[in-house]
Amino acid sequence: MVKINENFLKLQKNYLFIEIAKRIKAFSAANPDADIIRMGIGDVTLPIAPVVVKAMKDAADEMGVKETFKGYEDSGAGYDFLREAVANYYKSFGADVNADEVRINDGAKSDCGNIVDIFGDGNTVLVTDPAYPVYVDTNLMSGRKIIYADSNEANGFAAMPDDSVHADLIYLCSPNNPTGSVYTKEQLKQWVDYAIRHEAIIIFDAAYESFVSDPDLPRSIFQIEGAKKCAIEMCSLSKTAGFTGMRCGYTVVPNDLEVVSEGGEKVSISAIWGRRQGSKFNGVSYPVQRAAEAVFTPEGQKQIREAIDYYRENAKIIASTLDEMGIYYTGGKNSPYIWLKCPNGMGSWEFFDKLLSEANVVGTPGAGFGKNGEGFFRLTAFGDRERTKEAMKRFKAMKF
């Protein structure tokens, strides 16, 4: 008889978004005229920049001509034109990344999940709590031990390392989903030093790096000295350039990153990851890679900035409302997420219900992202400007 991977049975049901949908449905049925504003979803809403659309159309045309048609891309790691564009982008903000360390993928989620394949099941995995659920789920699927580093009000939702606790694999996300907090260079340096001391590897998720506007804050772990000896970085064009429906991201594995096998042999992480990808992944489509290349051109950067600035202004509107109301929050300044403390000690779901029923506004209960999320709530800045303003007007009128 077929045996299932029993670890899948230990996964939590996809409770969060199902429960949100259930509560909205019940509320709408009872209040059919309610004008509900959704500020819970982490998807972008503005269209792809014109220069990017043109690049994709031109590439599609090339595919229809014998002389310029492209089949499989040989390396599977992405076309050189895009790997070089990504490396130059990194260099533009002071991160030392070479084109041969960049691999193109179909978005950060795939590699964040797939990277677990190359690490042994005996590793202890450290995840900050609260966290983007992929890190926990994919390690539970392979039966690994997970320990948590607390992100909470006391540390500004930026969990820090503790040398009395050993970890082999460490997931960090900055700017963070869901808390919007951003590590400083000094804080990331502490994580890098911890990883080197513990011979650990940091898996750094930089999916929201383009929202960092403060030049003193790091956008990549490779802006930190020593990171090339202990870190892998995943990034994405999803939120940076509206690629959630296009699917393109990139992972940086430093050429120098090595571990020692049980037999005492030095193993290159880049080589073993390349081997894994070679067997299980056939690359990203040519038109999408040409579109991604256009994102990194001067015109592309100018055009994508318009959308990022739009979302950033939405974040500012939300943050200043919370400032006026005297509500504690993190994020909103270098991040599209605003993570607020539910007023009057309310629980996350209690606040969800109150916000929905009194202001007809939907957000995401923090409890869905880990135990430290209880009593907190995530709002996103990816919505429409006028709807964001309206939501904040209604929020301000609420009585707590």
SS3 call for 267 = strand
Q: What's the rounded Cα separation, in Å, for the pair 290 and 73? A: 13
Instruction: Tell whether the torsion through CA atoms of 133, 356, 321 and 348 is positive or negative.
Output: negative
42 near ligand PLP (CB under 6 A): yes
Instruction: Tell whether the torsion through CA atoms of 98, 101, 104 and 108 is positive or negative.
Output: negative
Q: Which stretch binds ligand PLP (CB under 6 A): 106-114, 299-307, 312-320, 366-374?
A: 106-114
Q: Smallest distance, Å, CB 239 to ligand PLP?
A: 7
86 near ligand PLP (CB under 6 A): no
- Angle in degrees, CA 72, 74, 77, rounded to 5: 100
Residue 128 near residue 253, CB atoms below 8 Å:
no
The half-sphere exposure of 400 on its side-chain side, counting CA atoms within 13 A, is 15
Q: What's the rounded Cα separation, in Å, for the pair 93 and 96? A: 9
- If the CB atoms of residues 236 and 388 are measured against ligand PLP, the closer one turns out to be 236
Q: Smallest distance, Å, CB 337 to ligand PLP?
A: 9
The packing angle between helices 385-397 and 298-325, to 10°, is 10
Q: Smallest distance, Å, CB 234 to ligand PLP?
A: 7
170 near ligand PLP (CB under 6 A): no
Amino acid at 131: A
205 near ligand PLP (CB under 6 A): yes
Amino acid at 226: G
SS3 call for 39 = coil
Q: Which stretch binds ligand PLP (CB under 6 A): 52-60, 101-109, 158-166, 302-310?
A: 101-109
* Of positions 249, 287, 365, 370, contacts ligand PLP by CB under 6 A: 249
173 near ligand PLP (CB under 6 A): yes
218's CB contacts (< 8 A; 6+ apart) are 174, 183, 184, 185, 188, 212, 224
109 near ligand PLP (CB under 6 A): yes
- Angle in degrees, CA 369, 204, 190, rounded to 5: 100
| Per-residue contact string for residues 44-83; x = within reach of ligand PLP by CB under 6 A | ----------------------------------------
* Of positions 174, 179, 181, 236, contacts ligand PLP by CB under 6 A: 236
- Angle in degrees, CA 159, 227, 114, rounded to 5: 75
3-state helix, strand, coil in the chain (%, to 5): 45, 15, 40
SS3 call for 376 = strand
- Run of H or E including 279: helix 269-280
367 near ligand PLP (CB under 6 A): no
Q: Which stretch binds ligand PLP (CB under 6 A): 19-27, 57-65, 103-111, 222-230?
A: 103-111
* Of positions 238, 240, 321, 335, contacts ligand PLP by CB under 6 A: 238
107 near ligand PLP (CB under 6 A): yes
**How many residues touch ligand PLP (CB under 6 A)?**
14
Q: Which stretch binds ligand PLP (CB under 6 A): 69-77, 85-93, 104-112, 299-307?
A: 104-112
Q: Smallest distance, Å, CB 117 to ligand PLP?
A: 17
Q: Smallest distance, Å, CB 99 to ligand PLP?
A: 20
303 near ligand PLP (CB under 6 A): no
Q: Which stretch binds ligand PLP (CB under 6 A): 105-113, 138-146, 161-169, 221-229?
A: 105-113
Instruction: Tell whether the torsion through CA atoms of 178, 180, 186 and 189 is positive or negative.
Output: positive
Q: What's the rounded Cα separation, in Å, for the pair 267 and 195? A: 17
Q: Within positions 129 to 148, which residues make up the interface with ligand PLP, using CB under 6 A? A: 132
- If the CB atoms of residues 339 and 395 are measured against ligand PLP, the closer one turns out to be 339
158 near ligand PLP (CB under 6 A): no
Name the site residues for ligand PLP (rule: CB under 6 A).
42, 107-109, 112, 132, 173, 177, 205, 207, 236, 238, 244, 249
